[in-house]
Amino acid sequence: MNGDWQPLPRRALRLFVLRGALLAIPVGFAALVVAAVAEAPAPAWLGVAGAVAGAAFGCWRGERAWRYTAWRLDAAGFALRRGHLWRSETRVPQSRVQHLDLQRGPLQRRFGLSTLVIHTAGTRHSAVGVGGLDAEDAERLRDILARQVDDDDDDDGHDGRAA
């Protein structure tokens, strides 16, 4: 791979926006509960307004999350960059990769997307998940990283025979 930052595919935007729009459910419900507790004259309207505001914010947030997520694979390992104002960059050196999983939910399969989960050496919960990858890119990344792990295992000075 060339080592340049790779954006998520455009078709992943729909999934990010949909996930963000699901924010409307708890926001609308919270607005409805607050309106009912406050004995507002029209709590249903507040619930609807809360749901619409939550959906709009969630769609905007989902689009931003998609836009500011990128990944890179180079000789040193895998890197994931997320965020714009509060940028997070996660680096997984190839020597720390333990095993890899591909996950595809029904919507991801529908859009030809996958989530690559890179499990690393360390605690039980050490994993980096990258959702919204093109399915072919995710498989290629998995195969390349797995091959690097296998190559490292072969280079440890053991030939697989007992001493």
Domain assignment present for 160: no
> What pLDDT digit, counting tens, does each position of 28-48 carry?
777 777 777 777 676 677 777
**Domain co-membership, 55 together with 82:** no
Which neighbouring-strand residues pair with 133?
114
Radius of gyration of the chain (CA): 21
pLDDT tens-place string over residues 47-102:
777 778 888 888 999 999 999 999 999 988 999 999 988 999 999 998 888 899 99
Comparing C-alpha atoms, which of 87, 19, 34 is closest to residue 79? 87
Kindly state the DSSP code that residue 9 receives in the 8-state scheme.
P
Nearest to 110 by CA among 7, 16, 15, 8: 15
* Cβ neighbours around 94 below 10 Å, total: 18
Pair (75, 146) in one structural domain? yes
Residue with the bigger pLDDT between 37 and 130: it is 130
Do 17 and 77 belong to one domain? Answer: no
Which of 20, 44, 65 marks a domain boundary?
A: 65
Residue 160 region, left (φ>0) first, then alpha (ψ -120 to 50), else beta? left
Residues 20, 45, single domain; the answer is yes
Tell which of 49, 65, 81 closes a domain.
Answer: 65
Helix (H) or strand (E) holding 163: none
Is the pLDDT confidence value at 134 over 60?
yes
Residues 79 and 136 in one domain: yes
Domain membership of residue 148 as a residue range: 71-154
DSSP state of 94: G
| pTM for this model (two decimals) | 0.77
- Asked if the structure places residue 3 within a domain, the reply is no
Indicate whether 22 and 96 sit together in one domain: no
Please give the tally of structural domains in the chain.
Answer: 2
Tokens representing residue 89 in the block: 């960059």
Q: Record the tokens describing residue 67, joined without a space.
A: 């836009």
Domain membership of residue 83 (yes or no) is: yes
